[in-house]
Amino acid sequence: MKEEILKHLRNSQGKDAAHSSVYDWRVALSLALRDRMVDHWFRSTRETYESGAKRVYYLSMEFLIGRLVEDTAANLGLVQEAKTALAELGQDYEAIVLNEPDAALGNGGLGRLAACFMDSLASLGIPAYGYGIRYEHGLFKQDFVDGSQVETAETWLSQRNAWEFARPEVQFRIGFGGHVEHHEGKAHWHPWETVLATAYDTPVIGWKGSWGNTLRLWSAKPEAKFDLKSFNRGDYLAAGRSEALARTISRVLYPDDTTDAGKELRLKQEYFFTAASIMDLLRRFLSDHDNIRELPNAVAIQLNDTHPAIAGPELVRLMVDEHDVPMAEAIGLARQCLGYTNHTLLPEALERWHIGLLGRVLPRHLEIIRAIEDDQQAKHPGSPRILEQDHVRMGELAFIMAHKVNGVSALHTDLVKETVFADLNRIHPKRIVNETNGITPRRWLHTCNAPLSELVTQEIGEGWVGDLEQLKALNQKSGDRTFLDAFSAAKRQNKEQLADWIAQSCDIQIDPAAMFDIQIKRIHEYKRQLMNILETIALWNEMHDAPNAEWTPRVKIFGGKAAPGYHVAKQIIHLINDVARVINNDRVTKDLLKVVYPPNYNVTMAERLIPAADLSEQISTAGKEASGTGNMKFALNGALTIGTLDGANVEIREHVGSENFFLFGLTAQEVVERRHVHGFSRAAIEASPRLTRVLGQIFEGVFSPSDPSRYHGLIGTLYDHDYFLVTCDFDSYFDTQRRVDEVYRNPQNWAAMALRNTANMGWFSSDRTIKGYARDIWQVNASEKVRLELTG
Ligand code: 475
């Protein structure tokens, strides 16, 4: 390893050891690790090729992968070797790990799920490709200026990306606009502009290196030949067109989580990566098949939400226009290949494209969408329409073009059946299935939490990393004082590390003995960070009034970004920062309560915070959080959850036991009913002196003395349009928090409850989720050989 690192330092970085920076060392280490991936990778590709096994294609606008050094080294079993090699070279492994940029090619849950799935597909030995966009700028960097969020461009690609292999030879021409000619029953699309999609491959090696898949990300390049022709003709505008489009198309990730941007460039991004991926997989298929009708036996294509839903029409277009398959048959074949995952019921997230826009950007696809609509109406008269008024509804398109549609938790899947797709579900009663989300235990316990991971391995061996249900054996330890002490000591160690980091990065001193209460996720009204900060103020009031009463000291930690155009979410951020400033400066409560909000929450920060959490905040309005996956990461790392009956919280509570979970709040059904009660929020506020006081303080400017009216709008909304029922759940949330305080005061009991969480979270491994997709949707098998290696 030492030789390999030095070799890359010299030959790849062009540096000698004496003049190398931590960046050079990091790139050299990454390249040395990448070298070790290649054999596993080739072996897997060869095996798939020889066996002719069915391949899975996971199409996603987002892959929120984060840093890769530690995960790669861990999966290859090279952590110790790397550490030793670097130590002998006088370098610090930890410092090198910290040098890596966090690849934020995603917004939140949907993108991180795709990254966890890539790890599980490889760990299970399922032949698969992830397809996405190689954004030049990932999710924006967040700073706070006087407590307000300020965004700046993220620049992970301004340095060398050591993990990827550029594939300039893999190129597809992607067309936009123009017109369609029909003659002799054939359609010919003449695009008005084209760009080239070129591939960059990142190998993804599973646990123990048993299998390797590819994450193929597309980058847009101008079409040089075409340019020259136009240029020589004197058509300079046309010559520049491909260049201008190519410059923008893979430039930046849309920062809107669970909202549809509705922008033309977004549609172009979606078509760009989807078309390149479909062309690529067809090319691979046709290299060893000569009958396109065999396609469904060879490929399973999963659509991560509707963002790649144009895959249906694109596949049909290629079959009809280039392979002479009749339209109706092409639609049927495409459907057999496609699966669609729904990630949210929020109406603002459901993609709809104006017919005029779609017809202008993708004229042939609009014709095909009309043909799909006709086919559906002919077979199922009265079926919900894809084209409604002047819009194309991508949810309906994805549903109709998929043979399976899945929700991401049991509750969410029920709601999908009862609400957005109720009518389609009646027509196609077997199409909707549930695949409850999961998380990869490699990153979310094994690598991010060394103290707990080592303790668990000491106790039950290492098998749990590849087979998380083995954690169940820890249930026997919940009465063993020695083990519980060790379990608490691991948590304590993580909390001390986090306290050091917070002291250093936020200049706030926190006590590792206090309860660490953490809410990290995108800022959204439905996730109710607002309710959390209101409860924080109420608690502070009571502590300040009676500082000598029996209190459980707490540190409230927040993390998360708001979409740049989401005004209310940005106000909530401002309020949290304003409240933090006031509370953290109160001499009376200084040993009882602190509020911390480190800026720029990302995967790397999650890896620091989650292992140190005592309490996990999962407090969304019931019926709104499709699943949540952060909830799983916390519980796996031995935090207790305070949560509503929403998303996967329901299933987590069933697995860890209701006595080890702090439940509060209205149910999804009660939420719907309550909204019909006239004046429900005003009534809830008036019935709660505690909440009335808090809202009064904010309204008067206690937390914004320089601008007392800053939150008048926010407070007004709570009185009159409290759509997310913050006011209705407030008292039950506050009371439950006081129960949490009481339980925390008994450390032995708390530790036993926390252990029950860790021990019973095995089911939430994304390995289990992927096995579900493989069985219910893809009809592919995990390699038996790999399975034996994993669990052995
Ligand atoms: C859910 N993102 C979580 C997670 O299933 C769930 C939408 C439109 C444009 C850009 N991003 C989006 C989402 O819809 C999203 O992240 N949804 C989340 O998917 C994985 O655990 O409850 O909110």
Q: Would you say the C-alpha torsion 750, 754, 755, 760 has a positive or negative sign?
A: positive
Give burial (CB, 10 Å; 0-12/13-18/19+) of 475.
Answer: middle
CB 152 within 8 Å of CB 143:
yes
Pairing outcome for strands 299-304 and 338-341: parallel
Contacts of 163 (CB under 8 A, 6+ apart): 30, 34, 68, 72, 202, 203
Q: How many angstroms separate the alpha carbon of residue 437 from the centre of ligand 1?
A: 11
432: left (phi over 0), alpha (psi -120 to 50) or beta: beta
Q: How many angstroms separate the alpha carbon of residue 260 from the centre of ligand 1?
A: 11
- Domains of the chain plus CATH, in order, are 1-38+78-99 (no CATH), 52-67+102-437+772-791 (3.40.50.2000), 441-460+469-667+729-764 (3.40.50.2000)
- 348: DSSP letter: G
Percent of the chain with pLDDT over 70: 99
CB 108 within 8 Å of CB 29:
no
Confidence class of residue 224 from pLDDT cuts 50, 70 and 90? Answer: confident
Q: Which atom of ligand 1 is nearest to the CA of 259?
A: 8
Average pLDDT of the segment spanning 199-224: 96
pLDDT averaged over every residue in the chain: 96
CB 166 within 8 Å of CB 200:
yes
User: Residue 791 has what pLDDT?
Assistant: 62
Average pLDDT of the segment spanning 758-783: 96
Distance, in Å, from the CA atom of 250 to the CA atom of 330, rounded to the nearest integer, reads 30
CB 125 within 8 Å of CB 547:
no
Distance, in Å, from the CA atom of 308 to the CA atom of 565, rounded to the nearest integer, reads 24
Name the residue among 629, 570, 182, 221 with its Cα closest to residue 368: 182
Kindly state the greatest CA–CA separation across the chain. Answer: 89
Distance, in Å, from the CA atom of 652 to the CA atom of 762, rounded to the nearest integer, reads 10
Question: Three-state SS for 682?
Answer: helix
Confidence class of residue 225 from pLDDT cuts 50, 70 and 90? Answer: low
Question: Is residue 240's pLDDT more than 90?
Answer: no
Q: Is the CB of 258 under 6 A from ligand 1?
A: yes
Question: Three-state SS for 159?
Answer: coil
Q: How many angstroms separate the alpha carbon of residue 109 from the centre of ligand 1?
A: 5
Distance, in Å, from the CA atom of 296 to the CA atom of 294, rounded to the nearest integer, reads 6
User: Residue 235 has what pLDDT?
Assistant: 77
Question: Three-state SS for 238?
Answer: helix
Q: Is the CB of 622 under 6 A from ligand 1?
A: no
Name the residue among 211, 198, 204, 199 with its Cα closest to residue 53: 211
Distance, in Å, from the CA atom of 108 to the CA atom of 110, rounded to the nearest integer, reads 6
Distance, in Å, from the CA atom of 443 to the CA atom of 206, rounded to the nearest integer, reads 11
Q: How many angstroms separate the alpha carbon of residue 767 from the centre of ligand 1?
A: 20
Q: Is the CB of 435 under 6 A from ligand 1?
A: no
Q: What would the two tokens of residue 191 be?
A: 């695009």
DSSP secondary structure string for all residues of 486-527? HHHHHHHHHHHHHHHHHHHHH-----TTSEEEEEES---GGG
Supply the residue whose CA is at minimum distance from atom 3 of ligand 1.
628
CB 119 within 8 Å of CB 211:
no
Q: Residue 458 CB: number of other CB atoms within 10 A?
A: 11
User: Residue 445 has what pLDDT?
Assistant: 98
Per-residue pLDDT reduced to its tens digit, 577-598: 999 999 999 999 999 999 999 9
- 321: DSSP letter: I
* Of 117, 306, 343, 527, best ligand 1 pocket probe by most atoms within 8 Å of the beta carbon: 343
- 252: DSSP letter: B
Average pLDDT of the segment spanning 313-326: 98
Question: Is residue 782's pLDDT more than 80?
Answer: no
* Of 64, 105, 110, best ligand 1 pocket probe by most atoms within 8 Å of the beta carbon: 110
Q: Which residues, in sequence order, are bridge partners of residue 144?
A: 149
Supply the residue whose CA is at minimum distance from atom 7 of ligand 1.
258
User: Residue 141 has what pLDDT?
Assistant: 98
Q: What would the two tokens of residue 50 be?
A: 């020889």
Confidence class of residue 226 from pLDDT cuts 50, 70 and 90? Answer: low
Distance, in Å, from the CA atom of 412 to the CA atom of 407, rounded to the nearest integer, reads 6
Average pLDDT of the segment spanning 86-112: 97
Supply the residue whose CA is at minimum distance from atom 10 of ligand 1.
257
Q: Is the CB of 628 under 6 A from ligand 1?
A: yes
CB 33 within 8 Å of CB 40:
no
Q: Which residues, in sequence order, are bridge partners of residue 434?
A: 407
Per-residue pLDDT reduced to its tens digit, 245-289: 998 999 999 999 888 888 999 999 999 999 999 999 999 999 999
Q: Which atom of ligand 1 is nearest to the CA of 346?
A: 14
Question: Is residue 90's pLDDT more than 90?
Answer: yes
User: Residue 437 has what pLDDT?
Assistant: 98
- 140: DSSP letter: P
Q: Which atom of ligand 1 is nearest to the CA of 629?
A: 21
Average pLDDT of the segment spanning 527-553: 98
Give burial (CB, 10 Å; 0-12/13-18/19+) of 67.
Answer: buried
Question: Is residue 792's pLDDT more than 60?
Answer: no
Distance, in Å, from the CA atom of 104 to the CA atom of 305, rounded to the nearest integer, reads 19
Helix residue ranges per DSSP H, 559-619: 567-584, 603-609
Per-residue pLDDT reduced to its tens digit, 660-680: 999 999 999 999 999 999 999
Per-residue pLDDT reduced to its tens digit, 703-720: 999 999 999 999 999 999
Catalytic residues, by residue number, are: 343, 521-522, 527, 629, 633
Per-residue pLDDT reduced to its tens digit, 480-503: 999 999 999 999 999 999 999 999
Q: Is the CB of 113 under 6 A from ligand 1?
A: yes
Question: Is residue 367's pLDDT more than 90?
Answer: yes
- 342: DSSP letter: -
Q: Is the CB of 372 under 6 A from ligand 1?
A: no
Name the residue among 117, 37, 19, 104 with its Cα closest to residue 67: 104
Length of the chain: 792
Distance, in Å, from the CA atom of 242 to the CA atom of 222, rounded to the nearest integer, reads 5
Distance, in Å, from the CA atom of 319 to the CA atom of 281, rounded to the nearest integer, reads 13
Cα of 636 vs its chain's centroid, Å: 17
Helix residue ranges per DSSP H, 193-289: 224-233, 236-249, 264-286
Supply the residue whose CA is at minimum distance from atom 8 of ligand 1.
258
Q: Is the CB of 631 under 6 A from ligand 1?
A: no
Cα of 652 vs its chain's centroid, Å: 19
ipTM of the complex in this document: 0.99
Q: Is the CB of 349 under 6 A from ligand 1?
A: yes
- Phi first, then psi, for residue 88 (nearest 5°) are -65, -25
User: Residue 658 has what pLDDT?
Assistant: 98
* Of 253, 340, 344, 409, best ligand 1 pocket probe by most atoms within 8 Å of the beta carbon: 344
Name the residue among 384, 410, 411, 414 with its Cα closest to residue 399: 384
CB 594 within 8 Å of CB 583:
yes
Q: How many angstroms separate the alpha carbon of residue 349 from the centre of ligand 1?
A: 9
Distance, in Å, from the CA atom of 294 to the CA atom of 720, rounded to the nearest integer, reads 58
- The radius of gyration of the chain's CA atoms, rounded to the nearest angstrom, is 27
DSSP secondary structure string for all residues of 419-472? TTTHHHHHHSTTTEEE----B-HIIIIIIT-HHHHHHHHHHH-GGGGT-GGGGG
Distance, in Å, from the CA atom of 488 to the CA atom of 117, rounded to the nearest integer, reads 31
Question: Is residue 650's pLDDT more than 70?
Answer: yes
pTM over 0.95: yes
Per-residue pLDDT reduced to its tens digit, 162-179: 999 999 999 999 999 999
User: Residue 790 has what pLDDT?
Assistant: 65
Q: Is the CB of 256 under 6 A from ligand 1?
A: yes
Q: Is the CB of 494 under 6 A from ligand 1?
A: no
Name the residue among 124, 195, 66, 88 with its Cα closest to residue 468: 124
In order of 103, 113, 413, 462, 773, the CA distances from 440 in angstroms are: 17, 9, 22, 15, 15
Average pLDDT of the segment spanning 33-49: 95
Q: What would the two tokens of residue 353 be?
A: 């494209």
Dihedral angle computed from the Cα positions of residues 222, 228, 229 and 233, in that order, rounded to the nearest 10 degrees: 120
- 599: DSSP letter: S
Question: Is residue 428's pLDDT more than 90?
Answer: yes
Q: Is the CB of 212 under 6 A from ligand 1?
A: no
User: Residue 440 has what pLDDT?
Assistant: 98
Supply the residue whose CA is at minimum distance from atom 21 of ligand 1.
628
Q: Is the CB of 107 under 6 A from ligand 1?
A: yes
Average pLDDT of the segment spanning 138-161: 98
